């Protein structure tokens, strides 16, 4: 009798686990992406707006600075952002002679579609191609910068296309591991921990020690997995969304500018930004 009960309980638990697994896989996009959280919005009359889509599919981007600047900084925005507001801090670099560009992921800002991993990759690749084909940038003159969930498409782009440099701000090992710590689903969206090994350009990682959204250890472990040359900036006391504020806007922009120009060495660093 006891064996029968145990077998029945085991089957029930297995069924529950399968249902939970399938539910998690089915809901992964709604759990990962929050386009409705964007702070504000913009229109086609916004400065720098350009539609880089093809075949009638709108892929909205904001491009600021010179048409053919010293370097192009391709920004991959975070979750509660769109192309327009994610470039706020980088406007300074546009005034310093850089071309700065950011594309809306599907379902974000003015881009068509619904957000998913492949769609993020596609839109970011479209902006990369557009900068080369329409603006004449060489691949080595494109610096990719990804914040938070943007670290996924940023790392993937740098691993699959030639780029000059890669900046990752508050990055994760993979999206689900932010919550689960280990892989529990058959799928593992934005697997930075695997993809980072294929990045051949210099890498700069910036992470706050008090990050309550993407734990600090994600940035440190990702740094260990990255190949040389690389550099890590630890921002003492910074949370997720106040990273630039705690670091100091002047210091943040200086670090990005010097790294983009190739003036700052991308070598292992124990530097603490207080």
Q: How far is CA 255 from the centre of its chain?
A: 18
On the question of a cis peptide bond just before residue 22, with omega within 30 degrees of 0, the verdict is: no
Compute how many other C-beta atoms are within 10 angstroms of the C-beta atom of residue 136.
Answer: 11
What pLDDT shows up at residue 243?
95
Task: Give, in order, the Cα–Cα distances in Å from 205 to each of 62, 233, 269.
Answer: 24, 6, 10
DSSP, collapsed to helix, strand or coil, labels residue 16 as helix
| Whole-number pLDDT of residue 89 | 80
Tokens representing 255 are 């670090």
pLDDT for 188: 77
At 230, which helix (H) or strand (E)? strand 230-235
Copy the structure tokens of residue 246.
């705690």
- How many angstroms separate the CA atoms of 252 and 259, rounded? 11
The encoded tokens of residue 223 equal 């740094």
What pLDDT score does 235 carry? 97
Among 86, 104, 111, 148, the active-site one is 148
Q: What is the pLDDT of residue 12?
A: 44
Tens place of pLDDT for every residue, the chain, 274 residues? 545 444 444 444 333 333 333 334 445 666 677 777 666 678 899 999 999 998 889 999 999 999 988 899 999 999 888 998 888 888 899 999 999 999 999 999 999 999 999 999 999 999 999 999 999 999 999 999 999 999 999 999 999 999 999 999 999 999 777 766 665 566 678 999 999 999 999 999 999 999 999 999 999 999 999 999 999 999 999 999 999 999 999 999 999 999 998 865 555 444 444 4
SS3 category, 74: strand
Taking the CA of residue 74 as centre, how many other CA atoms within 13 Å lie in the half-sphere pointing to its CB?
A: 32
Cα–Cα distance, 55 to 180 (Å, whole number): 39
Q: 207, 211, 218, 234: which one is catalytic?
A: 211
Which residue in this structure is represented by tokens 């930004």? 273
Burial of 27 (0-12, 13-18, 19+ CB in 10 A): exposed
What is the structure's pLDDT at 180?
66
Active site residue 125: no
Could you tell me the pTM of the whole model? 0.84
Q: Is 45 a catalytic residue?
A: no
Half-sphere exposure of 163 (CA within 13 A, CB side): 31
Asked whether the beta carbons of 155 and 168 are under 8 A apart, the reply is yes
- Helix/strand/coil for 90: coil
CATH superfamily of 33-273: Alpha/Beta hydrolase fold, catalytic domain (3.40.50.1820)
Is residue 224 within a helix (H) or strand (E), and if so which, with residue range?
helix 216-225
Task: Give Cα separations from 21 to 12, 55, 160, 201 (angstroms).
Answer: 14, 36, 30, 37
Does the annotation count 240 as an active-site position?
yes
**Domain-wise residue ranges, the chain:** 33-273
User: For residue 270, what pLDDT is reported?
Assistant: 47
Distance CA 68, CA 58 (A): 23
């Amino acid at each position: 009798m006891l064996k029968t009960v145990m077998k029945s309980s085991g089957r029930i638990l297995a069924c529950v686990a399968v249902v939970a697994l399938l539910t998690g896989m089915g809901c992964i996009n709604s759990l990962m992406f929050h386009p409705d959280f964007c702070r504000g919005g913009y229109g086609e009359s916004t400065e720098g707006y350009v539609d880089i889509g093809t075949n009638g599919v709108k892929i909205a981007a904001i491009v600021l600075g010179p048409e053919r600047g010293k370097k192009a900084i391709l920004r991959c925005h975070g979750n509660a952002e769109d192309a327009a507001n994610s470039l706020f801090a980088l406007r300074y670099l546009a005034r310093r002679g850089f071309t700065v560009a950011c594309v809306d992921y599907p379902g974000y800002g003015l881009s068509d579609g619904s957000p998913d991993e492949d769609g993020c990759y596609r839109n970011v690749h479209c902006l990369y191609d557009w900068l080369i084909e329409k603006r004449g940038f060489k691949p080595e003159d494109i610096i990719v910068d990804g914040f938070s969930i943007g670290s996924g498409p940023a790392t993937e782009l740098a691993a699959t296309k030639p780029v000059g440099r890669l900046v990752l701000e508050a990055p994760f090992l993979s999206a689900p591991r932010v919550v689960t710590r280990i892989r529990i689903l058959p799928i593992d969206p934005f697997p930075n921990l695997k993809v980072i090994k294929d990045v051949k350009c210099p890498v700069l990682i910036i992470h706050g020690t008090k990050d309550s959204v993407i734990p600090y250890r994600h940035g440190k472990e990702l740094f260990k997995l990255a190949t040389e040359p690389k550099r890590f900036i630890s921002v003492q006391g910074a949370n997720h969304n106040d990273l630039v504020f705690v670091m100091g806007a002047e210091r943040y922009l200086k670090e990005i500018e010097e790294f983009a120009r190739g003036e700052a060495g991308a070598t292992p660093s124990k530097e603490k930004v207080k």
